[in-house]
Amino acid sequence: MIVALLLLTIFNIFFFNFYTKIKKIFNVFDYPDNNRKKQKNKIPITGGLLIFLNYIILIILDNLYQLNLFIYLDISKINFFVILVFIPLIFYLVGLYDDKYNLKPYLKFLISIILFYVVIKLDNKFLIEQITINSLNIDISISKFSVFLTILCYLLFQHAFNMFDGINLQIGFYTLLFFIFLFLFSKFNIFLIFVLPVLFFLILNFKNVSYMGDGGCYFISYFLSVNCVLLYNHERIFSEEIFLLMMIPGFDMFRLFVVRLFKKKSPFSPDRQHFHHYLTSKFSYLWANFISMSFILIPMVGYIFFKNFFLIVFLTTIIYLVTIYLITKKS
């Protein structure tokens, strides 16, 4: 693990030192539109590139030095290549293409459905066959609909995660928290190592010289979601913990879908009615991020210590809705 952290640090320092050249060669930018995108200048979409390259380097180091970072997966070499190298690459490239040329939503969903279907057909470790709600001592078999429901869960996770990337620092902090909690639940070092490249991205994002982009969001959400299902099937993480980690991005996604449909718009049409946009209309970016991350961190910590899942969900939901109401109500 120390070797991996050291070599990744060297790579990230190299990335920083040559960042001006890298962003010019990469040539993918987010442009201001004086509407939804409020930045003054074009911003390189290099965050996904940075984290994906760190991921590939990790895989190479794992094979060269027998670090056993991915041994917990317990899958064949060919399945490892397809599920952990080829499909992440496709997701990253699809997101990158979307960053540059704006893919139609139905095309992105179709590609995602195909790729997730391949994953669960290659190895049923990534298939949800039973829903266990420990708080109610309930086990619900979904074997007849397992493929459909698993793909649906992956798609919802992916879309909620992607929609959460709306203001500086938020997706970086959220990814950081997610990896830290996965490490605490699983004790697998791979999740802790991922904290390093996310921290380097946060530095660039804080300086407003790099965005994550759809490429990064598609790759990270894929990696997180398949690992959540794997850990869930191995009882390293429970459904309540996954729900709490995804609750605010998920709530915001469903709320926006309903609002847009009510206004007779496409549920996928972009706007500035996200929770983070409401927060930045009243607070600085740092305070907005502090409040947003508190909605994720406090319920998780509360559940870990008190285990009262439904009370925590109820209170968080009420506070979330009241916060939106207070911010948006007219004076």
Residue 306 falls inside a structural domain: no
- Residue 259: C-alpha distances to residues 126, 153, 296, 315, 322 (Å): 33, 22, 23, 22, 16
Neighbours of 42 (CB within 10 A): 11
CA distance 303 to 127: 26
pLDDT digits (tens, 9 = 90+) for 97-122: 999 999 999 999 999 999 999 999 99
Does 325 fall in a domain?
no
| Tokens linked to 228 | 């959540």
Residue 211 lies in a domain: yes
- Give the count of domains, the chain: 1
Residue range of the domain that includes 152: 2-265
Assigned domain for 32 exists: yes
- Buried/exposed code over 272-288 (b: 16+ C-beta within 10 A; e: otherwise): eebbbbbbbeeeebeeb
Residues 6+ apart with CB under 8 A from 206: 168, 169
Does a structural domain hold residue 241?
A: yes
As given in the structure block, the two tokens for residue 321 are: 């809705």
User: Which residues in the chain show pLDDT less than 50?
Assistant: 331
For residue 239 the two structure tokens come to 């459904």
Residue 141 located in a structural domain: yes
Model pLDDT for residues 74-98, shown as the tens digit of each residue: 999 999 999 999 999 999 999 999 9
Confidence (pTM): 0.96
Kindly state whether residue 285 falls inside one of the protein's structural domains: no
CA distance 64 to 255: 47
pLDDT of 38: 65
273 inside domain: no
Q: Are 8 and 197 in contact (CB under 8 A)?
A: yes
